[in-house]
Amino acid sequence: MCGIVGYIGKEKTTPLLLQGLKRLEYRGYDSAGLALSINGSLTVLRQKGNLDQLEKIVDHDKLDSRLGIGHTRWATHGEPSKRNSHPHTDCSGKIAVVHNGIIENWHELRDELIDSGHEFTSETDTETLAHLVEANFNGDLKEAVKKALRRIKGSYAIAVISSEDPSKLIAARKDSPLVLGIAESGIFVASDIPALIDQTRKIVIIEDEELVEVAQDGYQITSGDDVLIKRDSIEVKWDIEAAEKGGFADFMLKEIYEQPSAIQDTLRGQLDEDGKVNFDDLLLDKEKIEDIDKIFIVACGTSLHAGMIAKLAIEKWAHISVEIDCSSEFRYREPVLSDKSLLIAITQSGETADTLAGIRKAKEKGAKIIAVTNVVGSSITREADGVVYTHAGPEIGVAATKTHVSQIAALILLSMFIARQKNGLDDSFFQKIAESLSKVPEKVDEILGKAETIKEWAKKYHDVYDFLFIGRGVGYPVAMEGALKLKEISYIHAEGYPAGEMKHGPIALINDGVPVLAIALKGKVFEKIVSNMQEAKSRGGSIIAITDSDDNQIRALTDDVFVIPESDEMSSAILSVIPLQLLSYFIAKERGCNVDQPRNLAKSVTVE
């Protein structure tokens, strides 16, 4: 997620903005910039790379400003570059905007603005907002911003300044965080509290669809329907480390709780209510899809488990044969590829060495390449024919959580896109999938609200030596992911198995007290997984179930059960993995492990 800092007051603006942006570096970014109001005009400074690069071009003696905005950007539209960095300005250079979030209808608005004479200089959705404010400006910046926001579909936290209305800073939010900081020297606006903690601990939280007008001597908050809002400030007593984690004990836990918004951002702008999927960077039309006779999926670790769910969805909906392989094996075998093959490469960082090697091998044989990644401008985006971005935002914890569920959501969208072009299923089918998928964020919220149940399980199971996860259908890759998470951060030996393989070896490991966690989801294999649970119970295993079926049969079999909300088959993979993330986290904490930096592991594996 990008970082926003703004200031209006008595002190020099530039050092305050830079200091605030430094406090947001933990969130990850690829470029940074400032817009400063100086002597009746705006000075804009932008650089690709970290804040050190921006500071090299800052001349503090010449930048005598008392009003400004700053931004650290995590690219979502347009590659990381100076021209795509924030702040963005209008045609005249008199209005500057910084923005977190995604504007869904930016293409439509951009075309409209170009037709009316506006000239664009970047590939971003944010620049559209700067020109939209310009188009509505008539001397009052607040009114111009208000009118512009009425045209916007999507999410935003914004800060706007203008050289023609230099006594105020306008900020607003929808589905993206924003706070005010009240200091003796002036008033700050920021996307997160850590940016302000060096200057003030007096914080005002801006709520959804509110707009705030900030001046040197005060501020005024109004709702979307222009009702004046009075809100008291709160006193923040966190230290800086706690502030960066949003009050959570660890980045991993914070990121687990960010998953509803991460999934929402993945879907935002890419899924219509009628089930149509829109990908700006896919570059794969109906004719090319109809020509595909086989799909290969390559990935590593957690990404591989997301790919396993994509295989099930594509084969079920599009009726195309899908072969899945871990990248480190794919690159060294001799897969049968042709110009009628499609390779889907999944990598959170976009820099995974084995996955990059795999796509290069596929390209040599003429295959088309689609990358699924979280990082705009990463190596894989330059080598693929088309890209599906997950838009999960930066993930600090080494063990993937929000990037994983965002990958599943993105891959479900990709599967829908391919199936619509290839299989000719009617619109009502896709509408049902879209409706189910759109409800996933609130259902994840519901699961997170019951985390205390999982916390109690951790006290019971944290000192075991072995853990077996089993599942069928989409439950199998979920079981694999659950076992991986437990291994990664608690160092307990765990295995994920297809439940039907129990009698082919793993059942020999079950004796009194060995935890066997089953992903028991409704569907054609539900009775089969229940039978496997009975087998494990008869050997003395402690049976745990993650299920969407709250019936007596399950409860009679289990020592512990967690019921997730019902959903469609593929979306249930997202819902059922959330309790497993929590279980791994709480067990690791009980064992005194460092959940954010587990031993021997790195966030991005850039070597073989």
Closest C-alpha to 586, from 454, 460, 405, 469 = 454
Mark whether 10 and 150 lie in a shared domain.
yes
Alpha-carbon distance of 363 to 343, in angstroms, equals: 9
19 near 207, Cβ under 8 Å? no
Q: Confirm whether 112 is domain-assigned.
A: yes
The 3-state secondary structure of 318-370, one letter per residue: HCCCEEEEEHHHHCCCCCCCCCCEEEEEEECCCCCHHHHHHHHHHHHCCCEEE
Q: Which of 438, 467, 498 is the last residue of a domain?
A: 438
CA angle 395, 89, 10 (to 5 degrees): 85
479 near 471, Cβ under 8 Å? yes
Which are the contacts of 55, defined by CB distance < 8 A and separation ≥ 6? 18
Mark whether 78 and 204 lie in a shared domain.
yes
501 near 472, Cβ under 8 Å? no
- CA-only gyration radius of the chain, Å: 25
**pLDDT over 60 (residue 606):** no
Distances (CA, A) of 605 to 255, 351, 363, 429: 20, 7, 22, 39
Q: What integer is the mean pLDDT of 422-451? A: 91
Residues 192-242 have pLDDT tens digits of: 888 998 899 999 999 889 999 999 889 999 998 889 999 989 888 777 777
Alpha-carbon distance of 541 to 533, in angstroms, equals: 9
Alpha helices, H only, 116-198: 126-136, 141-149
Q: Give me the chain's average pLDDT, please.
A: 91
Q: Confirm whether 595 is domain-assigned.
A: no
Helix (H) or strand (E) holding 257: helix 251-257
Mark whether 576 and 516 lie in a shared domain.
yes
If 0-12 CB within 10 Å is exposed, 13-18 middle and 19+ buried, where does residue 63 land? middle
Q: Which of 390, 423, 438 is the last residue of a domain?
A: 438
Q: Predicted confidence band at 510 (pLDDT cuts at 50, 70, 90)? A: confident
**pLDDT over 70 (residue 1):** no
Residues 276-315 have pLDDT tens digits of: 888 877 877 778 888 899 999 999 999 999 999 999 999 9
Token pair listed for 96: 């500057």
Alpha-carbon distance of 289 to 418, in angstroms, equals: 7
22: containing domain: 3-244
Would you call 288 a catalytic residue per the annotation?
no
268 near 377, Cβ under 8 Å? no
Which are the contacts of 552, defined by CB distance < 8 A and separation ≥ 6? none
Instruction: Kindly state the DSSP code that residue 84 receives in the 8-state scheme.
Output: T
42-46, 179-183, 350-354: least confident range? 350-354
Instruction: Kindly state the DSSP code that residue 465 receives in the 8-state scheme.
Output: S
Alpha helices, H only, 451-570: 451-461, 475-490, 526-538, 552-557
Q: Which of 147, 460, 528, 603 is catalytic?
A: 603
Q: Confirm whether 604 is domain-assigned.
A: no
Residues 363-372 have pLDDT tens digits of: 999 999 999 9
More confident residue, 495 or 513: 495
Q: Predicted confidence band at 589 (pLDDT cuts at 50, 70, 90)? A: very high
DSSP-derived 3-state class of residue 213: strand
Mark whether 281 and 320 lie in a shared domain.
yes
Q: Confirm whether 607 is domain-assigned.
A: no
Mark whether 93 and 238 lie in a shared domain.
yes
Instruction: Please tell me the predicted confidence (pLDDT) of residue 604.
Output: 65
**pLDDT over 90 (residue 46):** yes
Mark whether 484 and 581 lie in a shared domain.
yes
Mark whether 78 and 167 lie in a shared domain.
yes
Q: What integer is the mean pLDDT of 271-277? A: 82
DSSP string over 258-277: THHHHHHHHHTTTB-TTS-B
DSSP-derived 3-state class of residue 188: strand
Mark whether 389 and 473 lie in a shared domain.
no
- Residue 405, domain CATH: 3.40.50.10490
Alpha-carbon distance of 37 to 549, in angstroms, equals: 60
Instruction: Please tell me the predicted confidence (pLDDT) of residue 395.
Output: 87
Q: How far is CA 357 from the centre of its chain?
A: 25
Q: Confirm whether 336 is domain-assigned.
A: yes
Which are the contacts of 53, defined by CB distance < 8 A and separation ≥ 6? 32, 47
Other CB atoms closer than 10 Å to residue 319's CB: what's the count?
11
Calculated CA dihedral for residues 292, 298, 304, 310, nearest 10 degrees: -10
415 near 270, Cβ under 8 Å? no
Q: Which of 2, 22, 48, 311 is catalytic?
A: 2
Distances (CA, A) of 308 to 298, 314, 325, 407, 412: 10, 10, 9, 11, 11
Amino acid, res. 547? T
* Residue at token pair 């028991």: 520
DSSP string over 87-108: PEE-TTS-EEEEEES-BTTHHH
Domain total of the chain: 3
Alpha-carbon distance of 34 to 147, in angstroms, equals: 25
Alpha-carbon distance of 560 to 454, in angstroms, equals: 10
pTM above 0.85, yes or no: no
Amino acid, res. 29? Y
Sheet holding 542-547, edge to edge: 493-498, 466-471, 515-520, 542-547, 560-563
Q: How far is CA 410 from the centre of its chain?
A: 10
Instruction: Please tell me the predicted confidence (pLDDT) of residue 521.
Output: 94
Would you call 91 a catalytic residue per the annotation?
no
Mark whether 220 and 180 lie in a shared domain.
yes
- Residue 47, domain CATH: 3.60.20.10
Q: Confirm whether 472 is domain-assigned.
A: yes
Instruction: Please tell me the predicted confidence (pLDDT) of residue 276.
Output: 84
Furthest-apart CA pair in the chain: how many Å?
A: 81
Q: Predicted confidence band at 382 (pLDDT cuts at 50, 70, 90)? A: confident
Q: Confirm whether 603 is domain-assigned.
A: no
Phi, psi of 321 (to 5 degrees): -65, 130
Mark whether 432 and 548 lie in a shared domain.
no
Percentage of residues in the chain having pLDDT higher than 90: 70
Which are the contacts of 201, defined by CB distance < 8 A and separation ≥ 6? 235, 236, 237
Amino acid, res. 338? S
DSSP-derived 3-state class of residue 14: helix
Mark whether 229 and 257 lie in a shared domain.
no
Percentage of residues in the chain having pLDDT higher than 70: 99
Mark whether 227 and 206 lie in a shared domain.
yes
Amino acid, res. 521? L
DSSP-derived 3-state class of residue 584: helix
Q: Confirm whether 526 is domain-assigned.
A: yes
Q: Predicted confidence band at 119 (pLDDT cuts at 50, 70, 90)? A: very high
Alpha-carbon distance of 143 to 165, in angstroms, equals: 11
Q: Which of 395, 411, 438 is the last residue of a domain?
A: 438
Q: What integer is the mean pLDDT of 103-119? A: 94
Residues 63-81 have pLDDT tens digits of: 999 999 999 998 888 888 9
